[in-house]
Homo-oligomer: A and B are copies of this chain.
Amino acid sequence: MGRPIRTRRQATLASLAAELGVSRTTVSNAYNRPDQLSPELRRRVLETARRLGYPGPDPVARSLRTRKAGAVGLLLTENLSYAFRDPAAVGVLEGLALACEDASVGLHLVPASPGSEDVAAVHRAGVDGFVVYSVPDDDPHLAAVLERPVPTVIIDQPSIEGIDRVGPDDAAAVGKIAEHLVSLGHRQVGVICMRLARERNDDFVSPARQSGAHFHVQRTRLEALAVAFSAAGVDWAGVPVVERFDHTVDDGASAARQLLDAYPQITAVICTSDILALGAMAEAERRGLRVPQDLTVTGFDGIAEAERIGLTTVHQPVLEKGKVAGRLLLGSAERSAPKVITLPTELRVGRTSAPPRTVEEPWFGG
């Protein structure tokens, strides 16, 4: 349709060589191995290139031959834009970007919508390796990545035998939260967690769904809570857990509403992320509940906004997580044994946790 914009065939290394009356090798060397030809000839090649509008060796052809794409792929099964919404995700991305920058390597964001089974994008990505960030263990995109003959590093989840992984010690981290709450005297608690499977369930979570969760991190956190509270004499089966598919402040709020509507006696809401916790705080305010006097709220991640408002949470070094993952991937050439790196976490007690409003049975151990 219409007249073609570029009528002239694009210049190529071969055409340039022909124009100059030298071999392709020589032109190639002019770009890649300046020491292999005389400065004079090199100058002439480069100048002719400029004159002909030759932009240098085609990156794709070069990649094919050298078997180096100069990029790492990032797979996160979420709308790509989500990665920019969640501060924790942004931190990971930033860290990863830093690592890539250091290595002069591009970062290729793979478009993979959560619902879609279309893994073509994974196959199409010309990359030297993949970083997979927080996907369910049954994700088809992940399967496609693992088929590719390139190194892979997984951040957070899932945990797969033989594949490098970097993430916090979720069980220990959540344990700190649980311990904190137990020692404050909380026995009537509720939980708000992120999605547990690829199918949406914005509702209470059955025990089966809990233990069969496809998101390793969420499952681990719930299990750790179960262990800790059971140890404190709480019947975990009686603890309500509300799930939200989308990870937004609003969803945190609606989850808190659902939770508190059904279980008004709850004294502490444990959220598996700060974002959800911020929502829970908002809902508490809406109900006229004072935090922490009437209700304790805890989060997870330690994002900036949480810190600002003094949320009790577990901080994990998200930037570091991305950076370490990138380094691990880019330096994976000389390793052979798969590596699992566990990052430190830190309980940050803020202004959103306190003893329950009605201390039924003080636990001063004597």
Contact check, B126 vs A63: say whether CB atoms are below 8 A apart: yes
Contact check, A113 vs B101: say whether CB atoms are below 8 A apart: yes
Q: Is A147 an interface residue (CB 8 A)?
A: yes
Q: A90-B90, A120-B104, A124-B70 are in contact. Are A109 and B111 (CB under 8 A)?
A: no
Which residue from B60, B81, B107, B120 sits with its C-beta under 8 Å from A109?
Answer: B107
Q: Is A106 an interface residue (CB 8 A)?
A: yes
Most B Cβ at <10 Å: residue of A62, A70, A100: A70
Digitize A100-119: 1 where CB-to-B-CB distance is under 8 Å, 0 elsewhere: 11001111111101000010
Q: Is A40 an interface residue (CB 8 A)?
A: no
Number of A interface residues at 8 Å Cβ cutoff, please give it.
Answer: 57
Copies in the complex: 2
Which residue from B81, B85, B106, B336 sits with its C-beta under 8 Å from A108?
Answer: B106
Contact check, A97 vs B125: say whether CB atoms are below 8 A apart: no
The secondary-structure label for the interface of chain A is mixed
Which residue from B62, B84, B104 sits with its C-beta under 8 Å from A90?
Answer: B84
Contact partners of A118 in chain B: CB under 8 A:
104
The residue in chain B whose Cβ has the minimal distance to the Cβ of A6 is B149
Digitize A67-85: 1 where CB-to-B-CB distance is under 8 Å, 0 elsewhere: 0011101000001110111
Contact check, B79 vs A106: say whether CB atoms are below 8 A apart: no
